[in-house]
Amino acid sequence: MKKNKLGLFHVYIWCMSILRPYLVSVVMLILCGLTISVCELYIPKYIQYLIDKIIPNRDVYLLTKSAFIVLFFLVFRFLASSGKEILQRNIQEKATRDLQLKMLKKLHRLGLPFIEKNTTGKILSLLNTEVAAMQKLYGLHFPEMVQYALFSVVAIFLMLNLSVKLSLIIIPCFFLYYIIGPYLEKQASLAANDLATSQINLGQKLYESISSLTELRANNACDWDLQRAMRETETNINCYTKRYWYAYWRGTCRRLSYYTGAVALFIYGFFLIGQHKLSVGGFVAFLLIYFNTMSKLTSVITAITEQKILMFQAEKIYSFMNEKEEVKEPKNPNPFSKIKGQITFENVQFSYGNEQRVLKGLNFTISPGEKVGFVGHSGSGKSTILKLFGRFYDPQQGKIYLDGIPIEKLSFAHLRSYIGFVFQDIYLFGTTIRENIRFSKPEATDSEIIEAAKAAYLHDFIMELPDKYDTYIGERGVKLSGGQRQRLALARIFLSAPTVVILDEPTSSLDNLSEGNIQQSLKSFFRNHTVITVAHRLSTIRHYDKIIVINKGNITEIGTYDELVQKKGAFYRLQKKEGVKRIIYE
């Protein structure tokens, strides 16, 4: 338990370190809080002076003068409050922005290994839900804790100055709250955390219901889905009830401690006034300060408890930020101005985590400008080869070279600036067709974008649309068919024209005629470029220079299409199974 507490304290210090660039603003925020406290505490002292001095003497001059002083303090308090609000929001938004940007940069560095090990929901929760919790820390709980603690220190000093004996009554009243209050604070905070989690789950369920509406209706499963939604709704209602139940008892405990202390103050204050040890004005001022101080002290406990609960969420961010990067950027990358496109795999072995080896000592060389296809059954390791070459993963053994240089000695930016990928799972952005094509080359002109679209046989389709290239394609390109999405991804490659082109099932969603047209464009555009293609449709690689057959992580055959067919080995069996004898594209 002690180790866990120390761990959470370490996490808290790390969270506070995010505020380091805004240290001046934090100091100004604290000064504004101190100014507000002084101004608020002046009012009870003024009331004491009013009761004890001004009213008995009927001094109109002092009344007028003191009223102007009070007005000055109120204006000053208003200015300090305005400054505090601006500073608080500024610190909150900038700190959470910095944290989110750091997390995004870390996510980019962690890359594919982290993405494939964790669900999208978990990652989104880190970037949204957990960051939102940190927003509460920076914008609410930490500033409140500091301001109310400063107020309490100044207030206790004033109360001691008014009456030491009355001040001692606060101690048992405060500890009365402290005995039960922190437990209720913790339970209320945990209930609020459960409620937040329940709301996320309910939102995900509703999103799932909307997304799967076609499947639900097609399978007559609407009642089944409704029952699942009702279970999440009932959980959410229970969390709401629990949250406000504990919040009610937390408030009740506070009020009980306040009023118990107030009763004791009235009884003891009556005797002190009767014995002329305390003036009426002093007693009234003390009562006003007492109620305000007790409120602030219990709020300090609330803020501390809330921060302790938030540290369990912050710990997830801290762990994420300290996640070990499996593929690291070289400290001193090897610079080179231009590559030819020669690729060499030398005894490359790889497995995902502790799983069985996916690649078992691969050795092959691809010459500059060569067109090479990888074929094999699903799960044989074809796509893994592409991931390794792009340095999304590093092999456990062996080396991969680009133009004779180990790729781990090249910077990510340098390596990937010469490589163009078309993945099997294409990602399109929820913007226009023009911007989606321009993604691969941000500085591209409109004429270059049009040429790329023509090469991908997408231009005619685009011109039939009402907004043409400015047509919005929806989330992940939902308004496009599978073939249109694939052609748009190919248009990106035609636009960037990289030295090495890597295609993972590039024409799987195209009909035979469209595939033939695309093959002609690929052949024309990338005549002198190195092209690597993973294909299940063997017609895609009919005219390639070399075909490499992969089976269970090993190379079983290498040769041209015709050579491998004549061998009547693994490739021949794949070709026969596909039912393709001879398809020639000119």
Residue 415 in this model has a pLDDT that exceeds 50: yes
Q: Where in the chain are the domains?
A: 11-163, 164-277, 343-584
Indicate the pLDDT class of residue 583, thresholds 50, 70 and 90: very low
- Of the two residues 63 and 374, the one the predictor is more confident about is 374
Question: Average pLDDT of 148-173?
Answer: 84
pLDDT, residue 578, reads 63
Indicate the pLDDT class of residue 5, thresholds 50, 70 and 90: very low
Q: Please count the other Cβ atoms lying within 10 Å of the Cβ belonging to residue 358.
A: 21
**Residues 112-149 as b or e (16 or more Cβ within 10 Å = b):** ebbeeeeeeeebebbbeebbebbbbbbbebbbbbbbbb
The number of angstroms, rounded, from the C-alpha of 306 to the middle of its chain's C-alpha atoms is 22
Question: pTM, whole model, 2 decimals?
Answer: 0.73
Residue 3 in this model has a pLDDT that exceeds 60: no
CA distance 536 to 387: 18
Provide DSSP, 128-180.
IIIHHHHHHIIIIIHHHHHHHHHHHHHHHHHHHHH-HHHHHHHHHHHHHHHHH
**Phi, psi dihedral angles at 367 (to 5 degrees):** -80, 155
Residues 6+ apart with CB under 8 A from 537: 505, 507, 508, 515, 578
Indicate the pLDDT class of residue 584, thresholds 50, 70 and 90: very low
Residue 259 in this model has a pLDDT that exceeds 60: yes
188 within 8 A of 246, measured Cβ to Cβ: yes
Class of domain 11-163: mainly alpha
Q: How far apart are the first and last CA of the chain?
A: 73
pLDDT, residue 188, reads 73
Indicate the pLDDT class of residue 511, thresholds 50, 70 and 90: low
Q: Name the amino acid, one letter, at 514.
A: S
pLDDT, residue 219, reads 78
Residue 284 in this model has a pLDDT that exceeds 80: yes
Q: What percent of the chain has pLDDT over 70?
A: 92
pLDDT, residue 508, reads 59
pLDDT, residue 481, reads 78
pLDDT, residue 585, reads 35
Take residue 81 and report the two structure tokens written for it: 């409050």
Residue 38 burial (10 A CB sphere; 0-12, 13-18, 19+): middle
Take residue 214 and report the two structure tokens written for it: 């076609």
pLDDT, residue 514, reads 63
- Residue 71 DSSP symbol: H
143 within 8 A of 33, measured Cβ to Cβ: yes
Indicate the pLDDT class of residue 582, thresholds 50, 70 and 90: very low
- Of the two residues 405 and 478, the one the predictor is more confident about is 405
Q: For residue range 222-255, what is the model confidence (pLDDT) as tens digits?
A: 888 888 888 888 888 888 888 778 777 877 777 7
578 within 8 A of 385, measured Cβ to Cβ: no
Take residue 132 and report the two structure tokens written for it: 């939102």
Question: Average pLDDT of 264-270?
Answer: 85
CA within 13 Å, CB half, 149 = 13
Q: For residue range 189-198, what is the model confidence (pLDDT) as tens digits?
A: 677 777 767 7
Question: Average pLDDT of 410-436?
Answer: 83
What is the helix (H) or strand (E) element at residue 82, kind and residue range? Answer: helix 60-117
Q: Which residues pair with 374 in a beta bridge?
A: 534, 548
Take residue 64 and report the two structure tokens written for it: 């007028």
**Phi, psi dihedral angles at 118 (to 5 degrees):** -125, 150
Residues 6+ apart with CB under 8 A from 257: 173, 174, 176, 177, 181, 294, 298
SS3 537: coil
Closest CA to 265 of 176, 177, 181, 172: 172
What is the helix (H) or strand (E) element at residue 309, kind and residue range? Answer: helix 280-321
Three-state helix/strand/coil letters over 226-270: HHHHHHHHHHHHHHHHHHHHHHHHHHHHHHHHHHHHHHHHHHHHH
Write down the mean pLDDT value for the chain. Answer: 81
Indicate the pLDDT class of residue 430, thresholds 50, 70 and 90: confident
Residue 374 in this model has a pLDDT that exceeds 60: yes
pLDDT, residue 550, reads 87
- What CATH code is assigned to 343-584? 3.40.50.300
- Of the two residues 102 and 522, the one the predictor is more confident about is 102
SS3 526: coil
Q: Which of 363-372, 376-385, 512-521, 526-535 has the highest mean pLDDT?
A: 363-372
Indicate the pLDDT class of residue 509, thresholds 50, 70 and 90: low
Indicate the pLDDT class of residue 8, thresholds 50, 70 and 90: confident
SS3 29: helix
Q: For residue range 101-128, what is the model confidence (pLDDT) as tens digits?
A: 998 888 888 888 888 787 776 777 778 7
Residue 318 in this model has a pLDDT that exceeds 50: yes
pLDDT, residue 465, reads 84
Indicate the pLDDT class of residue 507, thresholds 50, 70 and 90: low
- Of the two residues 121 and 369, the one the predictor is more confident about is 369
Indicate the pLDDT class of residue 77, thresholds 50, 70 and 90: confident
- Of the two residues 20 and 512, the one the predictor is more confident about is 20
